[in-house]
Structure 1
Amino acid sequence: MHTSTHTLLGQPARTAAAHVARKAPGLHLIGDLYGCDCDDSLMLDAAAIEAFCLQAVEQAGLTSVGSLFHSFGEGGGVTGMVVLAESHLSLHTWPEDDYVTLDVYVCSYSQDNSGKAEALFRQLKDAFNPAEPHLHRVVRA
């Protein structure tokens, strides 16, 4: 598994511990999922992906306020987003390349939602079953 640490203008990114201690505004989890080996419906069927994402959001304890998923036609991928009260989940599939991009961002103003974001991200990543996940964790402060 590939992970990265980000820097901005030569300054290292804050750690998760700093996030909790300072009650930073959010956690952004980003995944490039290569070699996905999952049910075809998770790559091709907008309605199936939307239903799965909404169920995963609920199971993670987050709140959906709306969603939109679009299929690019026969054999094409899907792009979709769930707007969360806490921020958002977005994903894009490329079935022809067995590739998915996944993005989960949560704000933590009134409570630390990091654990919920991680649970949601993990459930989605595991469902796509990537051979080579490239994961990025960005603490927003």
Structure 2
Amino acid sequence: MAFESVPIGVHALLDFHGARGLEDLDFVESILRDAASAAGATILGAHMHHFGEGFGVTGVVLLAESHMSIHTWPEHDYAAVDIFLCGGSNLQAAIEVIEDRFEAQVASTKVIERGEARLSGERAA
């Protein structure tokens, strides 16, 4: 019997070159928190780390719907953002907040569908 399926989640990989605020831990954390809120996701917690003067930050916002994470390299004028959402979260809204706030000169996004939820009610063998 054929079945219909939908992805369980979506995973976005964002690359930013020439972005602003890559050394500012509070700024970076606020962007991830605002993006999670815009997506309609539930924030469970956050952990951020600054690597010291002249260097970047790394951090994760843990969501009931999965996570958002970032690593910045101001010395290379680069940031990598990872967003994984499931449920009814709005991935595009999260991406727009992050793009708008970082104001990167060059931005690229790759979106990958993750998992497969079967709609027919049958379980995989």
So what's the TM-score if we normalise by structure 1?
0.72
User: Which ranges of structure 2 fall in alignment gaps of 5 or more residues?
Assistant: 116-125
1:86 aligned partner: 65
Return structure 1 stretches of 4+ with deviation > 6 angstroms.
Answer: none
TM-align CA RMSD: 1.6
CA displacement 1:6-62 (0-9 Å, x = unmatched): xxxxxxxxxxxxxxx7232100010111122x2xxx311223322332233223311
How many residues are matched? 112
The structure with more radius of gyration: 2
User: Which ranges of structure 1 fall in alignment gaps of 5 or more residues?
Assistant: 1-20
Please point out which of 107, 126, 130 is paired with 2:104. 130
2:14 aligned partner: 31
Please point out which of 111, 118, 122 is paired with 2:92. 118
SS at 2:44 equivalent: strand
| Alignment partner of 1:102 is 2:81 | yes
| Alignment partner of 1:48 is 2:31 | no
Greater shift in the superposed pair: 44-53 or 24-33: 44-53
| Structure richer in helix, relative to its length | 1
SS at 1:43 equivalent: coil
So what's the TM-score if we normalise by structure 2?
0.80
